[in-house]
Structure 1
Amino acid sequence: MKVHILDDWFDTLRGLPCFNLLNEHDVTVWTDHEADENALAARLADADCVVLFRERTLVTHSLLERLPNLRLISQRGAWPHVDVGACTDRGVLLCSNKGADGANYAAAELTFALILSAMRQLPQQMASIKTGGWQMGVGRTLRGRRLGLYGYGRIGRAVADYARAFGMEVIWWSSDAGRARAIADGKQLAESRTAFFAESDVVSLHMRLTPETSGIVTAQDLALMRPRSLLVNTSRAGLIEPGALLSSLDAGRPGMAAVDVFDSEPLMDPTDPLLAHPNLIATPHIGFVTEDEFDKQFADIFEQVTAYANGHPIHMVNPLVFGQ
């Protein structure tokens, strides 16, 4: 099959062990992001299969109409960026291992790195010494402080392990089903949603972005946070009500934010009001960007390609398409 891989910005995948899974296919790797749909359609004109790199590219009805040869889209995780109905209408099978086993430890590690960076003022302290200064302020110790984790999933549980190793108290909030699982596992829940935001020194978000979770953290939630508290988001920007994080930082509740995700990505405007905010530290969506995590995730994706080529597709999202 002619397989096109999109948005591998650093040309990483060719050097990973999992890339050998595509040895029997004609593979084209695109190392830039093409935002123009007409240009993207021209690139993919001969593609039998498109491999998506997370949510970096939208797959729309109009794009699919321009790809007459396309039969398979292979990716991993949730698919809010893919028009599944249009895929079905066009006879394109979407395969995605949404329920992959194991936590994304890379994302969990980055989450805790951001907590440490914010609480110890690491970006500011580093900038100070590199520009001829010395200490620029006084950080805060994590031991004895309360970490609130919103979303009872694998990544959140890994972050909780790190936090307990640092002597933090961990409390949880989640959906009704998530809270039930946490209780069954003997975890400590906040007394209420209000208490969760109001009484945590650090709040970290760990949920998938779905129609049900879009905007689930509101401006009212953030206004409950303490003036010296920290909000961390390494999940998806859309979990927070549009505009709420910027307005809340302007109001001083929470006092700081550390984020790896933005509403529009890639965000490359240094004057963006949120990115430029003095009380925000940021990374460019690198929670999953390690060689180890890439090899694990793309092994799943490439196995879906080979399974389809062998006539036995796996992880089908719209299985009625297969066999048309």
Structure 2
Amino acid sequence: MKVHILDDWFDTLRTLPSFARLEGHDVTVWTDHEEAVDVLAERLAEAEALVLFRERTPITAPLLERLPKLRLISQRSVYPHVDVAACTANDVMLCSNMKGDQPSVAAAELSFALMLASARQIPQQMASLRAGTWQMGVGQTLAGRRLGLYGYGRIARLVARYARAFDMKVWWWGSEEGRARAAADGAEVAPSRQAFFAESDFVSLHVRLTPASAGIITAEDLMAMKPSASFVNTSRAGLVEKGALLKALDAGRPGRLALDVFETEPLTDASDPIVSHPNVIGTPHIGFVTEDELDMQFADIYDQINAYAAGAPIHVINPEVRCGT
């Protein structure tokens, strides 16, 4: 098949072991970011299979209507950036492994790294050192402090393991179902949502973005946090109510934000009020961007292409589209 891969910005995928799974296919890798429909339609005119690099490029009806040779979109995890109805209308099968075999260790590690960076003011201390002013403040020790994990999923449970190794006190909040699973596993659940936010020294968010979960963290939740606390989000920006982060920063509750995700991505405006705020530690959505994680994720994506080529597609999101139509 003629396979096109979008948004491999650092031309990494060719260097990973999983790329060998595309042997026998005609592969084109695009290393820049392009969203203009006219440009994409020209680039992808010959594509039979399209590989998406997470949610970097929206796949819309106007684009799909201009790709008559496209038969398959292969990706991994959630797909809010893909117009599934338009895929079906244009006889394009969408395949996406929604579970995978293991949680994202990379995302869990970054969540904990951001927590440490926030507690010890690492970016600010580095800036102070480089400015020749030596120390700029006093940090926090993680041991003995309370970590609130919102969402009882596999990534959050990994973060909890790291936290316990640092002698942190861990408790949970989330959906009623998630709290019930946490309690059944013997984990500590906060007595109330208000207590969860008010008494946690760190809150780390680990929920999938769906229409039901959009805006699930409100300005009221954030402003219930202590001025000494940190809010960490490596999941999705849309999980937080629009405008809530700035309200929280203006109120000084919580005192610090540690973010890997933003409402606009890629975010290239250095003057953005969130990015430029002195109480924000930000990284450019790198939670999954490690060689190890990409190799694992794209192995799944390539397997979906090979399964389709063999006439037995897997992880099909829109099964009403038949293989090869």
Q: How far does the alpha carbon of each residue in 1:180-223 deviate from its partner, in whole angstroms, 9 at most, with x for none?
A: 11111110000011111111000000011110111000111111
The count of aligned residue pairs is 324
Instruction: Please state whether the residue corresponding to 2:320 is helix, strand or coil.
Output: helix
Aligned twin of 1:162 = 162
Compute the displacement of 1:37 (Å).
Answer: 1.5
Aligned twin of 2:272 = 272
Q: Which letter maps to 1:266?
A: P
Any stretches of 5+ residues in structure 2 without a counterpart? Answer: none
Alpha-carbon distance between aligned partners in 1 of 2:92 and 2:36, rounded to the nearest angstrom: 21
Alpha-carbon distance between aligned partners in 1 of 2:135 and 2:237, rounded to the nearest angstrom: 32
Q: Which letter maps to 1:138?
A: V
Alpha-carbon distance between aligned partners in 2 of 1:145 and 1:244, rounded to the nearest angstrom: 25
Q: How far does the alpha carbon of each residue in 1:291-315 deviate from its partner, in whole angstroms, 9 at most, with x for none?
A: 0000000000000001100111000
Compute the displacement of 1:132 (Å).
Answer: 1.4
Alpha-carbon distance between aligned partners in 1 of 2:219 and 2:117, rounded to the nearest angstrom: 24
Aligned twin of 1:18 = 18
Compute the displacement of 1:121 (Å).
Answer: 0.6
The alignment yields a C-alpha RMSD, in angstroms, of 0.7
In the alignment, structure 1 residue 263 sits paired with structure 2 residue 288: no
Compute the displacement of 1:285 (Å).
Answer: 0.5
The answer to which of 9-18 and 36-45 deviates more is 36-45
Alpha-carbon distance between aligned partners in 2 of 1:248 and 1:36, rounded to the nearest angstrom: 35
Pairwise mapping of residues 281-296 of structure 1 onto structure 2 (< 5 A)?
281-296=281-296
Instruction: Please state whether the residue corresponding to 1:211 is helix, strand or coil.
Output: coil
- The TM-score normalised by the length of structure 2 is 0.99
Q: How far does the alpha carbon of each residue in 1:221-250 deviate from its partner, in whole angstroms, 9 at most, with x for none?
A: 111111111000000000000111112111
Q: Which letter maps to 1:302?
A: Y
In the alignment, structure 1 residue 207 sits paired with structure 2 residue 212: no
Q: Which letter maps to 1:25?
A: H
Q: Is the 8 A contact 2:246 2:274 kept in 1?
A: yes
- The TM-score normalised by the length of structure 1 is 0.99
Alpha-carbon distance between aligned partners in 1 of 2:162 and 2:146, rounded to the nearest angstrom: 13
Alpha-carbon distance between aligned partners in 1 of 2:235 and 2:129, rounded to the nearest angstrom: 31
Q: Is the 8 A contact 2:214 2:240 kept in 1?
A: yes
Aligned twin of 2:43 = 43
Identical-pair percentage: 67
Pairwise mapping of residues 59-98 of structure 1 onto structure 2 (< 5 A)?
59-98=59-98
- Structure 1 stretches of 4+ moved >2 Å: none
Aligned twin of 2:189 = 189
Q: Which letter maps to 2:175?
A: S
Compute the displacement of 1:81 (Å).
Answer: 0.7
Alpha-carbon distance between aligned partners in 1 of 2:131 and 2:221, rounded to the nearest angstrom: 38
Compute the displacement of 1:70 (Å).
Answer: 0.5
Compute the displacement of 1:35 (Å).
Answer: 2.0
Instruction: Please state whether the residue corresponding to 1:148 is helix, strand or coil.
Output: strand
Aligned twin of 1:303 = 303
Alpha-carbon distance between aligned partners in 2 of 1:196 and 1:85, rounded to the nearest angstrom: 39
Aligned twin of 1:314 = 314
Q: How far does the alpha carbon of each residue in 1:62-109 deviate from its partner, in whole angstroms, 9 at most, with x for none?
A: 110011100000000011111111111111000000011211000100
Instruction: Please state whether the residue corresponding to 2:204 is helix, strand or coil.
Output: strand
Aligned twin of 2:99 = 99
Q: How far does the alpha carbon of each residue in 1:47-72 deviate from its partner, in whole angstroms, 9 at most, with x for none?
A: 00100000001011111001110000
